[in-house]
Structure 1
Amino acid sequence: MKKISILFLALVSLISCADKSEIDGHQYTGEALGTTYMVKYFSDRDLKFERSLDSILEVINSSMSTYRTGSDISKINRGDTTVKVDKHFKKVFAGSSKIYQESNGYFDPTVGVLVNAYGFGPDKPLKEIDSSKLDSLRNLVGFDKINITEKGRLQKEHPNVYLDFNAIAKGYTIDVIAEYLEANKVNNYLIELGGELRAKGKNLESEADWVVGIDDPDQQEGERSLKAKVKLKNAAMATSGNYRKYRMDSVTGQKYVHTINPMNGKAERSNLLSASVITDNCMMADGYATAFMALGLERTKKLVEELDNVEVYILYSTPEGNMGEFVSPGFRKNLLE
């Protein structure tokens, strides 16, 4: 599932503000985890941020990057049972387990074998998936089939279970960066990594809350237009969606995408175009956004009512081919006209 890039709207001037206790604005941009990042913060100290960021990313990649053959998760996926996972792996595992249970299995970091089989992932798809093959693949899916032992080793019911934290680890990385800034007495910052965001305090250059945006699914390729502007303060926001890969029903004109149903292993139609989630930390916002895309509109509405401090903004295609939206009450309070 493709993560939708979110346009951050914070001012980017780096002019020092002498009348604000000599607190300077610092901004850094670059590439990390296969995407881009932007970090802007205000501090009267030289944090040597880039060096610290490189260290954070190295630790996260060494633990959970499926693109590194020598990472802990890659070794585990190859069947190495001697790996002792670190605290970062354990925290992401715990967050994943929570959302897996709350979503009744619709959020599942072990679903990658099905994603690849249908041709939605990086691996070559299977030419044909009959009921026998589907049953075989489904035996490898289920977050309840794995656990971390007291000695810190991952235990699988089946050695071929494939674990991928891509849908939640990016958000967790933002949280680790935020923890680093706060440990260094930074109280005003905005972090963006691959469209996921976390903000604290305000933009001291404009003396206003941080403002971010959500892409308009109807924008044309190469264009950049927003569906909504969102005020983000002391919270995180993540958006998940795949509307750039939607198809259109030739009869009704309704837009739809295919999503994997972990319950039956089938690729099913979904009319959800994107789900944006606001909550306390970015790891959970990231995971919930992915879960809601899999759950669909009605199940998401029901779950959001049961969750504490989780707000959502959903864009979907109506049967007539128009754009519909669902906004939870708490999210609506953060929308700007």
Structure 2
Amino acid sequence: MKPRFLLVLFVGVLSIISCKENAEIKDPIRLKGSVFGTTYSIIYYDVQTDFNNEINRLFDKVNNSLSTYIPTSDISKINKGEKGIKVDVYFKEVFAKSERIFKETDGYFDPTVGDLVNAWGFGPKKTLNDLDSAKVKSLMQFVGFDKVTIENDEVIKQFTETYFDFNSIAKGYGIDVIARFLESKGIKNYLVEIGGEIRTRGAKPEGNEWKVQLDNPNTDGSRSAFDYLTLKDESMASSGNYRKFRITDNGEKYVHTINPKTGYAKESNLLSASVIAQLDCADVDAYATAFMAMGLERTKEFLKKKPDLKVILIYADEKGELQEYRN
């Protein structure tokens, strides 16, 4: 899976003095590597077993189900129109979550926008250099999660041309798969991070909380802290258009967040959206993407109906100065 360039990086833990004296402090297991076109960092306590091999096998299973960058994956076969593909539990869960959040957001989260992701130059297929309003309109007829279903473990598409792209939810979902595996091994204190998306449970043995850095939306590729946040049994995901964009020969700028309502990849004054909740990381990953498509004002209206979501929106005001909104 090709990464979205996100805002949050794991930076460590916040030191808090423990009230317990002479408590036995276990060293954590730390696993690092590459997956989904980005990097991962996993820290856990409670057991001293290295689950690196098992975790890599789980990554392979998620990739073989959901990666549009692997030609032999289930999603790639479905996108090519192959028949008789029986989808696995990973595909079905991501499909179900996508369908629910598609409805909740009135279509602003829509993984059937894949052909437009490719056309604008942010997917595995060739960019359409002659993309104009007529071509966008033509591609839009195949967009809509209400045009696809799963029946008897097979994906049924109203249009064979509909192209799935779960990259805006699958990275968070991969985190959930690993987190559930750790919990199945009796691990109650962990942090799983992939490419900036994070899921935490518990804390360090001495009571330290997990701390993460929220980046400034720097367009020059540098990283600096906008804020520091502590997470307790929460997932966090961010989406932003300030790092991953494309500028055409005539100077037009297109960002990687495709608006499923219009089919266009236009930049708005909303620079980043970070979502924190006691939900699966896949859910907050999807909401962050939807909010970037919605824009600032629609997101603020949506959040009135979702008090379980903590959201930080960084945007540029009329003077071009950075502002933030927190619900």
Counterparts of 2:56 and 2:9, CA distance in 1 = 24
Mapped pair 1:303 → 2:302:
yes
1:25-53 per-position Cα deviation (integer Å, ceiling 9, x unaligned): 1111110111100000112342x310110
Counterparts of 1:318 and 1:70, CA distance in 2 = 45
Task: Indicate the residue corresponding to 1:331 in structure 2.
Answer: none
Pick from 50, 53, 62: which aligns with 1:51? 53
How much does 1:136 deviate?
A: 1.6
Counterparts of 1:106 and 1:55, CA distance in 2 = 33
Counterparts of 2:90 and 2:208, CA distance in 1 = 33
Change (3 A) 1:256 1:304: farther
TM-score (norm 2): 0.89
Task: Indicate the residue corresponding to 2:281 in structure 1.
Answer: 282
How much does 1:308 deviate?
A: 4.4
Mapped pair 1:133 → 2:132:
no
How much does 1:258 deviate?
A: 7.3
Change (3 A) 1:5 1:132: closer
Mapped pair 1:93 → 2:95:
yes
Task: Indicate the residue corresponding to 2:237 in structure 1.
Answer: 238
Counterparts of 1:219 and 1:263, CA distance in 2 = 26
Change (3 A) 1:278 1:157: same
1:89-125 per-position Cα deviation (integer Å, ceiling 9, x unaligned): 1110111111111111111101121122233444333
Pick from 33, 37, 41: which aligns with 1:34? 37
Question: 266-275 or 223-232, which moves further after superposition?
Answer: 266-275
CA contact (8 A) 1:107 1:287 kept: yes
If asked which structure has higher relative contact order (CA below 8 Å, sep 6+), I would say 2
Change (3 A) 1:19 1:219: farther
Counterparts of 1:147 and 1:167, CA distance in 2 = 19
CA contact (8 A) 1:85 1:153 kept: yes
Pick from 62, 65, 71: which aligns with 1:63? 65
TM-score (norm 1): 0.86
Pick from 18, 23, 27: which aligns with 1:24? 27
3-state SS in 1 of match to 2:286: helix
Counterparts of 1:99 and 1:274, CA distance in 2 = 19
What amino acid is aligned across from residue 187 of structure 1 in structure 2? K
The unaligned stretches of length 5 or more in structure 1 are 13-17, 249-254, 329-337
Mapped pair 1:183 → 2:184:
yes
CA contact (8 A) 1:24 1:44 kept: no
3-state SS in 1 of match to 2:103: helix
Pick from 109, 113, 116: which aligns with 1:114? 116
Change (3 A) 1:267 1:35: closer
Change (3 A) 1:245 1:37: closer
Change (3 A) 1:324 1:161: same
Counterparts of 1:247 and 1:163, CA distance in 2 = 22
Task: Indicate the residue corresponding to 2:155 in structure 1.
Answer: 154
Alpha-carbon RMSD: 2.4
Instruction: Determine what percentage of the aligned residue pairs are the same residue.
Output: 46
Task: Indicate the residue corresponding to 1:170 in structure 2.
Answer: 171
CA contact (8 A) 1:316 1:324 kept: yes
The unaligned stretches of length 5 or more in structure 2 are 15-20, 248-252
How much does 1:265 deviate?
A: 2.1
How much does 1:19 deviate?
A: 5.1
Change (3 A) 1:154 1:258: closer
How much does 1:4 deviate?
A: 1.1
